[in-house]
Amino acid sequence: MSPRPRALFSFIPLAMLACSSPPEETTSARPTRTPTTSVDAFDVPIAGITSEFLADFNDGDLLFSTPLRDSDGLGPLYTRTSCGSCHDKANRGPGLVQKMALVEDDGVTPASDQSELAYGHTVHPLTAGGGMTPILPPDDPKVKVTTRFGPPVLGRGYLEAVSDDEILRVEAEQAARDDEIHGRINWVSYASEHNEDTRFHDYDRGDTLIGRFGLKARVPALDDFTADAFQGDMGITSPLRPTEFKNPDGLTDDQKPGIDVGFDSVNLRANYVRLIAIPRRTSDSTGAALFESTQCSVCHVPSLHTRADYPVSALADIDAPVYTDLLLHRMSDELADGLPADPGVDGQADSFSWRTAPLIGLRFDRTFLHDGRAKSVTEAIELHRGAHSEANASVDAFDALTADDQASLVNFVEGL
Ligand code: HEC
Ligand code: HEC
C-alpha cells in the first residue's frame, strides 16, 4: 500500500481545525479553499514496508498521540500524558523535560556531591494515581536547571539500523584527525528487561551497547527508549520497565494495580518511531559542497551504512542519509547542562557533550538545539561556537562564506 492514503488522512484534522467555529456561523462566509496537492508530507511511513509493518505504523501512530489517564496507570509522577505531547507530529516539543544538577561556581562543572538531588536529575512536575509530591528543583543557587525539548523522532529507524562497525569506523577516523573534532561513542547499558519481540534484537538488561538515542546518546535501542519514556515521563510501567519511578511518596504502584501496559503498547509505539520516513526535499549540489567544505559533514556525516539483517528490509544494507555520526562531541561551555557523567544519568556523556543532532526534517521546526534556544538554522550554527567547542573552526568557515553561499548552505540544511 502506498503512503498516500495516510497523507490525505492527516490532512483532515487540519481542515477541521480551520472551520472549528459553530456550524451555524460558518454557512455562507466560509472561504472556499481546495486542498493543495503539494502538501510537504512528513510523519508518513517509509515507502515499501510490509503490510504488517504498515499496520504497526498506523496503530503505533494513534497510540503515540493518545493521552493516558490515572486508570491507565498514569503516575505517581509524570510530566506529560502522551508521547505526542512532547513530539507533536513526530517533531520537536512543545512538551519538554527539565534537568537539574549541582554545579561548581563556574556554573557548568558538576559538583562532586550531587546527593541533594535524592530523586535524580530529572524534574517530575506533576502527580497522578495517588502521588502527592512532585520532584522539583531545590531552592539552592548551586542547582542549575536546564531544558530538553522532546527532539524530532523522524527517521529514527534509520539510526537504529546503522551498523556498529560504521560507528566504530567513524570514531576511529575522527580520533586520527589533527584538528579538534574527536567524537566519542557513548557506551551504555540496555536498561530494560528482555523484550519478547526479538525481531529487532535479543538484548538482555545490562548488555553493553553503543548509545544512539537521546540528546546525549544514552539509550541503545528504540524499545528501550520507549519503555524509558513511559516510565520516566509518564509514570507508566511495562514488562520492559516493571517498577514505578522512585518517588518522594515512596509509592510502588498507582491506581492501576501492577504493570500498567503490555509489550504491545511499547513495541507498537517503538515501531511507529522506527518506521517514519525521512522527509527529504531534493537539495542543491552547491549547498552540499559547502556543507562539506565548512566541515559540517565531519560530525553531521551525510550517510552511514546499515546492518544487512535489520528486519525492516527498506532500511537494511543501505547508506542511511542520517547526517549524524551518532557520536558525542565536546560542545561549548555555553551549551553545557552541568550534569555529571554517570551510568544512571547520560552514560559516559558529561556536562559538555552532546550527540551530533541528526539533520532530518528541519524545515518543520521553529526552534533548534537541545533546549530550543536557536530560532533559526543560522542561529543554531552560530551557537556551535563557544569556549572549548569542537565545532569552532567549522563556524569560522561558515562565517567566512559570502552571504549567498551562507544562504545556500542554510537552504540545503533546511531541506534535509
Ligand atoms: C515530557 C515530554 C516527553 C514525553 C511525554 C515523551 N518524550 Fe520522548 N523525549 C523527550 C525528551 C526531552 C527527549 C530527549 C531525552 C534525553 O536526551 O534524555 C526525548 C527523546 C526521545 C527519543 C529519542 C530521539 C532521538 O533523537 O534520539 C525517542 C525515540 C522518544 N523520545 C520517544 C518517545 C515515546 C515513544 C514516548 C511515549 C512513550 C515519549 N518519547 C514521550 C520528551 C518526551
Ligand atoms: C563538532 C561536531 C559538529 C560540527 C562540526 C557541526 N555540528 Fe551541528 N551539531 C552538533 C551537535 C553536537 C549538535 C547538537 C547540539 C545541541 O543540541 O545543543 C548540533 C546541532 C546542529 C543543528 C540543530 C539541529 C536540531 O535538530 O536542533 C543544526 C541545524 C546544525 N547542527 C547544523 C550544522 C552546520 C550547518 C554545521 C556546519 C557549519 C555544523 N552543524 C557543524 C555537532 C556539530
- pLDDT in the model for residue 41: 77
Q: What is the mean pLDDT of residues 27-55?
A: 72
The DSSP result for 336-349, as a single string, is ---PPPBTTTTBT-
What whole-number percentage of the chain has pLDDT above 70? 91
- pLDDT in the model for residue 383: 98
In a domain, 112, yes or no: no
Task: Report which DSSP code applies to 52.
Answer: H
**Cis before 76? omega within 30:** yes
Ligand nearest to the CA of 240: 1
In a domain, 384, yes or no: yes
Determine the Cα–Cα distance for residues 155 and 172; give it in Å rounded to an integer. Answer: 25
Candidate from 79, 233, 331, 355 with most ligand 1 atoms within 8 A of CB, to mutate: 233
In a domain, 293, yes or no: yes
Q: What is the mean pLDDT of residues 341-368?
A: 96
Last residue within a domain, chosen from 12, 29, 48: 48
- Smallest CA separation from ligand 2 atom 40, residue: 296
Instruction: Please tell me which residue, 416 or 12, carries the higher pLDDT value.
Output: 416
Beta partners for 127? 77
pLDDT for 242 beyond 80? yes
- Smallest CA separation from ligand 2 atom 10, residue: 356
**Cis before 94? omega within 30:** yes
- Is the Cα dihedral 136, 140, 143, 145 positive or negative? positive
Give the H/E segment covering residue 100. Answer: strand 96-102
Half-sphere exposure of 330 (CA within 13 A, CB side): 10
In a domain, 15, yes or no: yes
- Is the Cα dihedral 340, 343, 348, 353 positive or negative? negative
pLDDT for 136 beyond 90? yes
Average pLDDT of the chain to the nearest whole number? 91
- Smallest CA separation from ligand 2 atom 9, residue: 356
The grid cell for 197 is 519481540
Q: Number of structural domains, the chain?
A: 2
Any atom of ligand 1 within 6 Å of the Cβ of 95 = yes
Residue 358: name the closest of 103, 129, 151, 48 by CA: 151
Beta partners for 374? 368
Ligand nearest to the CA of 302: 2
Determine the Cα–Cα distance for residues 165 and 157; give it in Å rounded to an integer. Answer: 17
- Smallest CA separation from ligand 1 atom 42, residue: 150
Domain that holds residue 33: 4-48
Least confident stretch, 5-9, 98-102, 384-388? 5-9
Any atom of ligand 2 within 6 Å of the Cβ of 354 = yes
In a domain, 403, yes or no: yes
Q: What is the CATH number of the domain that holds 368?
A: 1.10.760
Q: What is the mean pLDDT of residues 337-354?
A: 97
In a domain, 275, yes or no: no
In a domain, 187, yes or no: no
Distance (Å) from CA 315 to ligand 1 centroid: 22
- pLDDT in the model for residue 38: 56
Any atom of ligand 2 within 6 Å of the Cβ of 416 = no
Any atom of ligand 2 within 6 Å of the Cβ of 154 = no
Task: Report which DSSP code applies to 18.
Answer: H
Determine the Cα–Cα distance for residues 300 and 289; give it in Å rounded to an integer. Answer: 13
Count CB atoms within 10 A of the CB of residue 194: 14
Q: Work out the pLDDT band at 103, boundaries 50, 70, 90.
A: very high
Any atom of ligand 1 within 6 Å of the Cβ of 220 = no
Any atom of ligand 1 within 6 Å of the Cβ of 226 = yes
pLDDT for 94 beyond 90? yes
Candidate from 57, 92, 145, 225 with most ligand 1 atoms within 8 A of CB, to mutate: 225
In a domain, 291, yes or no: yes
pLDDT for 298 beyond 50? yes
- Is the Cα dihedral 322, 295, 281, 368 positive or negative? positive
Ligand 1 closest atom vs CA 216: 17
Q: What is the mean pLDDT of residues 99-126?
A: 97
Angle in degrees, CA 229, 89, 3, rounded to 5: 115
pTM of structure: 0.91
Distance (Å) from CA 329 to ligand 2 centroid: 10
- pLDDT in the model for residue 116: 96
Q: Give the pLDDT confidence of 1-23 residue by residue, as tens digits.
A: 333 434 333 333 333 333 333 33
Q: Give the pLDDT confidence of 170-188 residue by residue, as tens digits.
A: 999 999 999 999 999 999 9
Q: Give the pLDDT confidence of 144-166 residue by residue, as tens digits.
A: 999 999 999 999 999 999 999 99
Ligand 2 closest atom vs CA 355: 12
